[in-house]
Structure formats: structure tokens, C-alpha cells
Amino acid sequence: MQPLRGVTVVALEQAIAAPYASRQLADLGARVIKVERPGTGDFARAYDSRVKGLSSHFVWANRGKESLTLDIKDPRGKELLLRLVAGADVFLQNLAPGAAARAGLGAGELRARHPGLIVCDVSGYGSPGPYAGRKAYDLLVQAESGLLSVTGTPEEAAKAGIPVSDIAAGMYAYSSVLAALLERGRTGLGTHLDVSMLEATVEWMGFPLYYAYDGAEPPPRAGAAHATIHPYGPFTAGDGKTVLMAVQNEREWRDFCTVFLGRPELADHPHYATNADRDRHREALGALVAARFAELTSAEAIALLGAVPVANARVNTLAEVWDHPQLAARGRLHEVATPAGPVAALAPPGPSTATPRMDAVPALGEHTRTILGELGLSGDAVDALVAEGVA
């Protein structure tokens, strides 16, 4: 399934948010030309060296792309970029606030020249507004969006273990570009998309925001437990392993009391009869549930929870995720080529084709000569640009 074959995306991108969006487009068949700085490239290339000497962030967010190095501060580099954009369907960028406009790559200027072009700007806070010029990184936006205020333990806030704000913005950029391509198919016109990390993350904060609506008390930080549903969270079995479980409704609660706890009378106890009651008395109820888990091994607890049935899960290590039996059974792990050799990669969620598009992670500037050749430059001309640090 490659519905974006024939679509060209020029991406002036760095870090995670925009690269993650363009990788989704590449997975669906788009040609993504990633424009990078000569010599250094996307700074995410140097975040770490955990994947055969390559950056884990870069390998994750950049498969299926072509790497073109250009110094767009040099007039020759900028002119080449503008020629590329003239033949593109989508221009995606997440430079520092205002940098694209200062370089003559603002949405208004580009779309005046190319009415069919879709321009997608990804930024921390969007424009206009008092925060428009602020630099933004994932953790900072997690703080601004309120995510930190509801994540962690009662004693201490904690950031999410993945770059949630980057991913949220990347996915809204991706889905917005798809929508804009559909709209252009009807009208022939492109559009300007302005995706901010703040707005994307605040959208994902919908439940806590509404829970605290009109000045109400916000949900408490509850560690790995659910903040407002109980029992829903981690418990330690007798063998020391952690099992997560979730009672979602009153029918499950009643069966959980009978089958798992062996105490059917608790189902109608006035402290536990409804979820609101259980939440108010979570400390006492949690102690009862924890005592039962301590009598069982993790395997016994999971089997008994399945007999209720109540949803449950192991707390997997990352090594266990690579070997997850469900991913293996569904054939979701494939290989992608990288400059350091093949590495495992998860197939794009959704499409179930046996051979998803999962092309290589590019080396810095790997496709520079090919792409500039397509623009009509001779080998000697490209050599000169490379020698002078323009390409």
C-alpha cells in the first residue's frame, strides 16, 4: 500500500517532529528529499551512537528518505532549494522560529509562486502569538502543555519516557498533509499548515483538561497507576515481578472480587461499590489487592486475571519488546538498511501488506549528486559546489 507514490516532499527538517512526519509520508510511498547542512547534517545524527554507531533517534525517524546537503545561506544553495521546491508537492520545515521566512521560504512567498504547493510549518508554539519566537524542545513543551503536572508520583513530576510532544506534532503534521493532498485533488490548490507542538500536546491532554474543567481539582499524579480508575495499575506478585491490571466497569469489578480476590462480598461493600467509591478508598483497597497478588506468582496472577476476565499486561523491558510474541506472530518486525548495515525496524502500523515500504536510512549527502543531476547540474558543477561547502 503506497498511495503517495508520485508525491514529492522536500523536507528542511531536524530533530524529531518534522522528520517523524516525513517518515510516515515516505512509508506510504512519497519521495522525501531531506535537506541537510553540509558536513554536519541534521543534528539528531549526533544525539547518540547506540545503533551500530548511528543515532537511535535518527535511525527511527529517517528511513526511506534521500539526503541532499545544501547550504541554503549561500545564494547558490538557496536557488537550488527553490528549484527543488518548484517541482515538489509538499514543503515541510521545522527550522528555528522565523528562520524559514527570513530565508525567503515562508508559506506566503512560496505559495504565491506555486499555488498548488502544500507548505507545512512545524514549530514549538505556532505563529502569531506571544510565544511565536520561542525555541521549543520536547520537555519544555511537556511542561507548558500541563503534561508534567499530571505525570509522575505524588511527590515528584516526571517527563514521559518518549518525546511525546515531538511525536504528537509529527503525527498531526502527517495527517494534515494527507488531508491537504486530498483537498488539492478536489480544488487543485495547496494550503498552509501551521502545526505546533504545544497545540498537538494540549489536544492529547483532553481528559485531564476536562477533568479539571471550570477550576475543578486536577487528576492527581499517580505513578504507573491510573489517576481516577481503581484498581488499575501495577501490582507486585509473589515472585517479585510486576503485573498491570485494569478493572474498567462494575461487571468486571464484581467478577474480579469473586474469581481473583475470592471475596465476593467486597463487590457491594459501600467503600467499593462504584469506581468513584473505589477511587476515594484506593489506599485501603490497594492494600487488599496487593496482598492477594503477593500470594501468587506473576504467571498465576496473569492466568487468574485472564479467567475473570480482567485486562492485564506484563511490564516488559525494552529487550523483551524486541522479542514480543505478538509482534513476531503478526510479522511486524522487518529490516531496514543503514550506513552501518541492516537493523530491525517495526513495519508501519495499519497497512498489513507482506512487504511494506521500508527503504534505507540515508548517509549524510548520499543522494546529493543524483538530485542535483536531476536539476541539470553537471558532475563538474556539483564537484565545485561540494568543494566550496555549498553541497
Condensed to tens digits (0 to 9), the pLDDT of residues 101-157 reads 999 999 999 999 999 999 999 999 999 999 999 999 999 999 999 999 999 999 999
Q: Residue 363's closest CA among 55, 10, 21, 147?
A: 55
The domains found in the chain, sorted by start residue, are 8-204+328-387 (3.40.50.10540), 232-315 (3.30.1540.10)
From 27, 166, 194, 255, the catalytic residue: 166
Condensed to tens digits (0 to 9), the pLDDT of residues 185-244 reads 999 999 999 999 999 999 999 999 999 999 999 999 989 999 999 999 999 999 999 999
As given in the structure block, the three cell numbers for residue 176 are 494534515
Beta-strand pair 343-346/333-336: antiparallel
CA-to-CA separations, 360 to 162, 269, 368, in angstroms, rounded: 23, 59, 15
Cβ count near 230 (within 10 Å)? 25
Encode burial over 331-352: b for 16+ CB neighbours within 10 A, e otherwise: ebeeebebeeeeeebebbeeee
Q: Residue 226's closest CA among 242, 244, 214?
A: 244
Residue 270 is predicted with a pLDDT of 95
SS3 10: strand
Class of residue 304 by CB neighbours under 10 A (exposed 0-12, middle 13-18, buried 19+): buried
The alpha carbon of 316 is separated from its chain's Cα centroid by a whole number of angstroms, namely 20
Using pLDDT thresholds of 50, 70 and 90, give the confidence band for residue 352. confident
Cβ count near 75 (within 10 Å)? 10
Radius of gyration of the chain (CA): 25
SS3 280: helix
SS3 letters for 129-168? CCCCCCCCCHHHHHHHCCHHHHCECCCCECCCCCCHHHHH
- The conformation of residue 340, written as its DSSP 8-state character, comes to T
Average pLDDT estimate for 78-91: 97
pTM to 2 decimals? Answer: 0.92
Residue 123 is predicted with a pLDDT of 96
Using pLDDT thresholds of 50, 70 and 90, give the confidence band for residue 353. confident
Give yes or no for a contact between 391 and 375, defined as CB atoms under 8 angstroms apart: no
Q: Is 239 a catalytic residue?
A: no
As given in the structure block, the three cell numbers for residue 106 are 515562508
Residue 235 is predicted with a pLDDT of 96
The fraction of the chain above a pLDDT of 90, given in percent, is: 96
Q: Residue 391's closest CA among 53, 37, 58, 28?
A: 37
Give yes or no for a contact between 225 and 154, defined as CB atoms under 8 angstroms apart: no
User: Counting every residue, how long is the chain?
Assistant: 391
Classify 135 in phi/psi space as left (phi over 0), alpha (psi -120 to 50) or beta.
beta
Classify 363 in phi/psi space as left (phi over 0), alpha (psi -120 to 50) or beta.
beta
Residue 345 is predicted with a pLDDT of 96
CA-to-CA separations, 228 to 149, 217, 224, 275, 302, in angstroms, rounded: 15, 12, 12, 8, 23
Using pLDDT thresholds of 50, 70 and 90, give the confidence band for residue 340. very high
Residue 354 is predicted with a pLDDT of 73
Condensed to tens digits (0 to 9), the pLDDT of residues 262-303 reads 999 999 999 999 999 999 999 999 999 999 999 999 999 999
Q: Residue 308's closest CA among 270, 380, 251?
A: 251
Give yes or no for a contact between 366 and 33, defined as CB atoms under 8 angstroms apart: no
Give yes or no for a contact between 120 and 112, defined as CB atoms under 8 angstroms apart: no
Report how far residue 315's alpha carbon sits from residue 330's, in angstroms, rounded to the nearest whole number.
21
